[in-house]
Chains A and B, each alone.
Chain A
């Protein structure tokens, strides 16, 4: 097994797209997160004001919405090029046990994504700690510096790392099922982004709530909330659970299809 994981790791680190994907993850997450923290407009939320409680932790994590495309890219490119180039036949000649191939790929992918995600999320928090006090989010106004010692804040940051890991698994499962780079990327990005866009038009609260509860991205990102928890469509961990269910489902379908189809 170690040999198989090592083989997958070698394949992964020797293609330039891996570095690009991880770079997208880190730079987009930190960059957009800092920009969002920078852009909090005190005019709309004069401080201190209890009815306009700014969720600063969540704002600094806004970049995850963009950074996750790096994760999608990395996960898809671990699978689909093997189909299109025929590399998969070599892989399966070396390791005939297909479940073992999937496990090794998932292991290498998850490890790489979790490490990069931890880096990206820490960067977002560091950026928030630098930017926010300059915009009036000071302890005097009721905004202590972002810290992992605070339980909801820790949940938001650790949860975001787990969110990115689950997005990797979801993308991986979809790629195994559709076997085509373009189709896999479009499917995953469609699944992640379009439900939130359409649910923004839906004004019936019950419909909107159900769509948000079932959407892998909106539900999954509920884990980032540290304030106004009553406004969430779903609880933080339950929301991450929804994404985990999507990821598990995709992984199961993908693995079964991979096991029964010809390479």
Chain B
């Protein structure tokens, strides 16, 4: 018979009380379960696949339309050779901050022909423009204001004046004008953008037509110091959108008018002159990452299970025996699951970014309206890398909620609707309510994907990420407090 003997360990066990071993232990636990590999794979694959699906379903015809707008009411008479037109804009109605009232020398009354114009606006002072290029700003003064255009060959100089005596040049432009051009007064007023939300979740956007109105007096058109004789005629240059293109409930366009009595002209008109912003306003980078909603489900499940499975199996008691410092356990878990989330998110978002680009190009998202996005553009890089940060934070958030709730089902039923439902019901809510909702939920973090300012933007990219970070930090703090306070 031999008596079993217990040998006393001759050397102390290697020190386990440290953060490094805790992180290592958590990493071993995470990588050695099968569901981790499944969830990480799903996070990457679904992000890419669903982004592709969304890209296949989206197209644009931006870039095929005109690149300029040339629509206004024009009161004109022919002017041969060099000459000038001078006028006083006595008053201008504030139909739109960028409504235009002024004078113009234009090749013909056809839309899109060369011109030079100087004008006043209710909100942006005096402006000069030609070639559908951006305005040259003059003084910040609106009506009443004296304006003058002087043509010398192919160059036209615009002047403005407060009193008609002292003139300040605004700009000189080169315009390809025929020997006999049309000179006269014009009024334009752009539409006002508006979005109507219907209760069924759909929305319509459009422009309400506005009508600009201005009164001109002291009109003087002359060549070589001699007044130009002849009749004034007036007409709309360009046409407004056809009625069937205007959504119901939006103000429609009306033709412009002009009347004259004792040298005082009253002119009304709608429209605008200038370059059109290139194409639509789709955020191609953000749309190209739409599949991330699937990726985040997988990573949040990963985070939740990383916490709850320990509670369910009782492994947490072993964990806490080995690493009694509960802060180390939770921090180690957060670090591990956050790093895995960041890596999976980075692969998913960079993958989606490159995979959807050819699809988006073949669906009309091409330059100049949609120049190809590049990762060297800081905004694009912020969106793509930020998506990975969002996924990492959501995985840690899932871990924290899992630690608080300690049950898989309970934790998932809290976190998944919390991140997904706001995106769904925000359309069914009033726009102001919906904007607040989208600012206050964890998915505000996805604002980091924005690369364009849009009318439906609820929160800035960094602020949105800050909201998500605050949720994660708050949940982690509560998880730590509960983990310390409760029995395992």
- A residues near B (Cβ < 8 Å) are 17, 20, 24, 32, 36, 39-41, 44-45, 49, 51-56, 58-59, 62, 65-66, 69-70, 72-73, 76-77, 80, 84, 180-183, 185-186, 189-190, 193-194, 196-204, 207-208, 211, 225, 227-228, 231-232
Contact = CB atoms under 8 A, between A and B. Distances in A.
A231 B412 contact: no
Given A211-B57, A231-B200, A198 B291 contact: yes
A73 B409 contact: yes
Contact of B425 (A65, A189, A204, A207): A65
B293 A51 contact: no
Contacts of A52: 196, 198, 249
B143 interface: no
Contacts of B301: 182-183, 186
A109 B325 CA distance: 44
Interface string B197-219: 11110100000000000000000
Interface in B125-148: none
A203 B57 contact: yes
Interface of B: 35, 50, 53-54, 56-60, 196-200, 202, 248-249, 282, 287, 290-291, 293-294, 297-298, 301, 304-305, 308, 312, 407-410, 412-413, 416-417, 420-421, 423-425, 427-433
Given A52-B198, A65-B421, A231-B200, A204 B58 contact: yes
Given A73-B409, A204-B59, A55 B304 contact: no
A211 B430 CA distance: 25
B435 to A, nearest CB: 11
22 contacts: A36-B425, A39-B430, A40-B199, A44-B197, A54-B199, A56-B199, A62-B429, A65-B424, A70-B413, A73-B409, A182-B301, A182-B304, A182-B412, A186-B416, A189-B417, A193-B420, A193-B424, A194-B297, A198-B50, A198-B291, A198-B293, A201-B290
Contacts of A189: 297, 412, 416-417, 420
Contacts of B305: 182
B301 to A, nearest CB: 5
Contacts of B57: 199, 201-204, 207-208, 211
Nearest to B304: A182
Contacts of A39: 429-430, 433
Contacts of B202: 231
B434 to A, nearest CB: 8
B41 to A, nearest CB: 13
Nearest to B419: A193
Contacts of A232: 200
B423 A41 contact: no
Given A44-B197, A207-B57, A231-B198, 11 more contacts: A41-B432, A53-B199, A69-B413, A73-B409, A182-B35, A186-B412, A190-B297, A194-B50, A194-B297, A199-B57, A201-B58
Contacts of A45: 199
B298 to A, nearest CB: 7
Which has the most chain A C-beta neighbours within 10 Å: B57, B410, B430?
Answer: B57
Which has the most chain A C-beta neighbours within 10 Å: B58, B410, B413?
Answer: B413
A203 B248 contact: no
A203 B57 CA distance: 6
B412 A51 contact: no
A198 B58 CA distance: 11
A194 B282 contact: no
Nearest to B289: A201
A14 to B, nearest CB: 16
Nearest to A57: B199
A235 B294 CA distance: 28
B425 A32 contact: yes
A189 B305 CA distance: 16
Contact of A24 (B196, B200, B413, B430): B413
A196 B54 CA distance: 11
B53 A198 contact: yes
A51 B287 contact: no
A181 B58 contact: no
B408 A181 contact: yes
Contact of B431 (A44, A62, A203, A225): A44
Contact of A228 (B59, B198, B408, B412): B198
Contacts of B198: 52-53, 228, 231
Contacts of A54: 199
